[in-house]
Amino acid sequence: MNLSTTYLGLKLKNPLMPGASPLVDNLDNVRRLEDAGAAAIVMHSLFAEQIEGARIALDRHLERWEDNFAEATSFFPAQDDYVLGPQEYLAQIAKIKAATKLPVIASLNGTNVGNWMDYAKQVEQAGANALELNTYFFATNRRMSATVLEHRVIEIARAVRKSVKIPVAVKLSPFYTSVGHVVGRLEEEKIDGVVLFNRFFQPEIDVEELQVTPRLDLSSSEDLRLRLRWLGMLRDQVKISLACSGGAHTPADIVKALLAGADAVQVVAELLTRGPARMGELLKGLTEWMEAHEYESVEQMIGALSLRNCPDSEAYERGNYLKTLQLWRE
């Protein structure tokens, strides 16, 4: 059975990898992920604010996360290890490369073209095999048009594309008026792939304290369905790599993401809560499913149920809107 896939031009032994998270700030976890069969390591993001020297409350953000999910914190490194400053981040690339044989995908996170762009070059020089760009922002000002917002993403992607030779992926939010158009524009800018999608953390209102508080809920398999729709819709419309990020928790989730059209599947919440060894179980489950369904290769699976091959294209296009509404029975 051939589990290999090509993602961002990298030949990978299988489609599974940890997505960007603090899990891989710790080298023991990285080794455990490799032992469990991960095909690549996506690093925790380095934030533009860190590079540009502004204060970033990364560890505060993580403390809150720990409060919400105390049971998962045993997989984390000590608090002091969280914040990899720009120099430590470069060193971490080299450390992961030395500790494993896996390709390393570094991650830069910023919202504007700025001085931090040069950092892409340093990440490349430090040995990263590819770069993931996360442009986590959305329009909160009503005067910002969709065009302006999209243009910012394209500008960042173009600037980074120019400065490095390694493959570049852009991790997108699902909140674009036309997701497909943005992905198509990124392809025109010679971006090698997109990661669908970023997961936005929503604020919560504390009705006793009368405060708006941040709340970090981890995903569930339900989150996958938004990804499935866009993977399935885009698979045959673009040639660049597609990675699924969000809601992959079980072997069946991995299977679905591949059938919809993902070249690679990134897993975070499931590994944060169950530990790096869970990667091995996911991989085993994928292999068992392939055996039972007589698939000889992952390549055969990718896009087998994309929009083009879907007998009921409405399921992707309008989500069988009307039919679905009729499914409700008392």
**108 near ligand FMN, judged by CB under 6 A:** no
Instruction: Please state at what angle helix 224-234 crosses helix 251-260, rounded to 10 degrees.
Output: 30
Site for ligand FMN (CB under 6 A): how many residues? 23
User: Nearest 5°: phi and psi at 303?
Assistant: 80, 5
**21 near ligand FMN, judged by CB under 6 A:** yes
What is the smallest separation between the CB atom of 245 and ligand FMN, expressed in angstroms? Answer: 4
- Within 13 Å of residue 152, how many CA atoms lie on the same side as its CB? 17
What is the smallest separation between the CB atom of 199 and ligand FMN, expressed in angstroms? Answer: 4
Of 17-25, 89-97, 151-159, 280-288, the segment contacting ligand FMN by CB under 6 A is: 17-25
Pick between residue 89 and residue 295 the one whose CB is nearest to ligand FMN.
89
What is the smallest separation between the CB atom of 239 and ligand FMN, expressed in angstroms? Answer: 23
Instruction: Please state at what angle helix 86-99 crosses helix 118-125, rounded to 10 degrees.
Output: 30
- How many other C-beta atoms can be found within 10 angstroms of the C-beta atom of residue 186? 26
**171 near ligand FMN, judged by CB under 6 A:** yes
Find the helix or strand (DSSP H, E) in which 160 lies: helix 146-163
Of 7-15, 88-96, 157-165, 239-247, the segment contacting ligand FMN by CB under 6 A is: 239-247
**What's the CA angle centered on 95, arms 164 and 56, to 5 degrees?**
70
* CB-count exposure of residue 311 (10 Å: 0-12, 13-18, 19+): exposed
Figure out which of the listed residues 19, 232, 251, 303 binds ligand FMN, where binding follows CB under 6 A: 19
Token pair recorded at residue 43: 């690093």
- How many other C-beta atoms can be found within 10 angstroms of the C-beta atom of residue 288? 11
**135 near ligand FMN, judged by CB under 6 A:** no
Pick between residue 43 and residue 298 the one whose CB is nearest to ligand FMN.
43
Contacts of residue 193, Cβ cutoff 8 Å, sequence gap at least 6: 7, 8, 167, 169, 170, 240, 241, 242, 243, 263
Pick between residue 65 and residue 230 the one whose CB is nearest to ligand FMN.
65
Pick between residue 174 and residue 184 the one whose CB is nearest to ligand FMN.
174
Pick between residue 44 and residue 161 the one whose CB is nearest to ligand FMN.
44
**134 near ligand FMN, judged by CB under 6 A:** yes
Number of helices (H), then strands (E), in the chain: 14, 12
**248 near ligand FMN, judged by CB under 6 A:** yes
Pick between residue 65 and residue 295 the one whose CB is nearest to ligand FMN.
65
Q: Which residue has the tokens 């990667």?
A: 279
Asked if residues 228 and 197 have their Cβ atoms less than 8 Å apart, the reply is: no
Figure out which of the listed residues 25, 223, 253, 263 binds ligand FMN, where binding follows CB under 6 A: 223
Site for ligand FMN in 270-329 (CB under 6 A): none
**245 near ligand FMN, judged by CB under 6 A:** yes
Residues that bind ligand FMN (CB under 6 A): 19-22, 44-45, 65, 107, 109, 134, 171, 198-199, 218-219, 223, 245-248, 267-269
